[in-house]
Copies of this chain bind each other. A is one copy, B any other.
Amino acid sequence: MAIEKLSEVKCFGGWQQRFQHQSDCLSCTMTFSVYLPPQAEQQMVPVIYWLSGLTCTDENFSTKSGAQRYAAEHGVALVMPDTSPRGDNVPDDPDGAFDFGLGAGFYVNATQSPWKAQYQMFDYVHRELPQVVESQLPVSGRKAISGHSMGGHGALVIGLTHPQDYKAISAFAPVCNPTQCPWGKKAFSNYLGDDRATWKAYDASERLDAFEGDMPILVDQGTADNFLKEQLGTPALEAANQRGLAEIRYQEGYDHSYYFIASFIGEHITFLAKALKG
């Protein structure tokens, strides 16, 4: 479980770091970013896992969100994985499309060839990466999970599937109902095959509808988001939220970009940190 530190720069009194390691469950070399707040020099700190959206790597959130300021204030670490297995030997969309294959793992465990050999992002994020992080870095086992778009879908699905492992979930403009939208149908039919019964386990609205436990959940959705109508399916998540477990907010005039994330990441980190420390 060796990891190699690729870079480290000081940021808000803590350290922004990049690591590389050989992933067993993805059978490739993976890069991930970490932000360790200043408090990590004195004690083990809890962790927020951040899952990015289509086309992203581990670096989009670290460079554009401004999240480090709030992580430093609250004494929480950030761990930012890549969005798919990577490397010349990893199969990709035959047309190189942005919404499937490399950069678009959709946080599922693929069951279909040729994807199943490496596209096991659910297990990577839920199991392998925390093992790596917790064994090598000054972080505790207390975890929350958040993400954007495809990564918001990932955060909701992983968190609601394993509620015992996460103290809270948040999402920005998540793909709420992938079994019903073009991005999700394309990805799930390839990764999971034609039996749509198997898709439901990876649909946040289905998960929330069936969920009987307790979990702090915060979702922000911009009203000027170009993907809102066709891809995101926020109304399905609202319909599944009968118990009112999730706070689903519409933010007037905000789009799908990192300017939206930057505007509200402070509130999300405050929300997640409260649960992590509770």
Residues of A bordering B, CB below 8 Å: 9-13, 16, 63-64, 66, 68-69, 222, 224, 253-255, 257-260, 262-263, 266
Contact = CB atoms under 8 A, between A and B. Distances in A.
B10 A262 contact: no
A10 B262 CA distance: 11
Contacts of A253: 10
A255 B9 contact: yes
Contact of A255 (B10, B12, B222, B266): B10
Contacts of A257: 9
Contacts of A68: 259, 262-263
A159 B11 CA distance: 28
Copies of this chain, whole number:
2
Contacts of A11: 259-260, 262-263
B10 A263 contact: yes
A67 to B, nearest CB: 9
Tell me whether chain A's interface is mostly helix, strand or loop, or mixed: mixed
A66 to B, nearest CB: 3
Nearest to A261: B11
B63 A10 contact: no
A224 B9 CA distance: 9
9 contacts: A9-B255, A10-B222, A10-B253, A10-B260, A11-B262, A13-B263, A64-B64, A68-B259, A69-B262
Contacts of A254: 9-10
A157 B63 CA distance: 29
Nearest to A263: B12
A148 B252 CA distance: 33
A266 B68 CA distance: 13
Contacts of A259: 9-11, 16, 68
Contacts of A63: 63-64, 258
A63 B257 CA distance: 10
A263 B37 CA distance: 12
A13 B69 CA distance: 19
A253 B13 CA distance: 9
Nearest to A64: B63
A257 B64 CA distance: 13
Contacts of A10: 222, 224, 253-255, 259-260, 263
B262 A66 contact: yes
Contact of A9 (B12, B16, B260): B260
A149 to B, nearest CB: 15
Contacts of A263: 10-13, 68-69
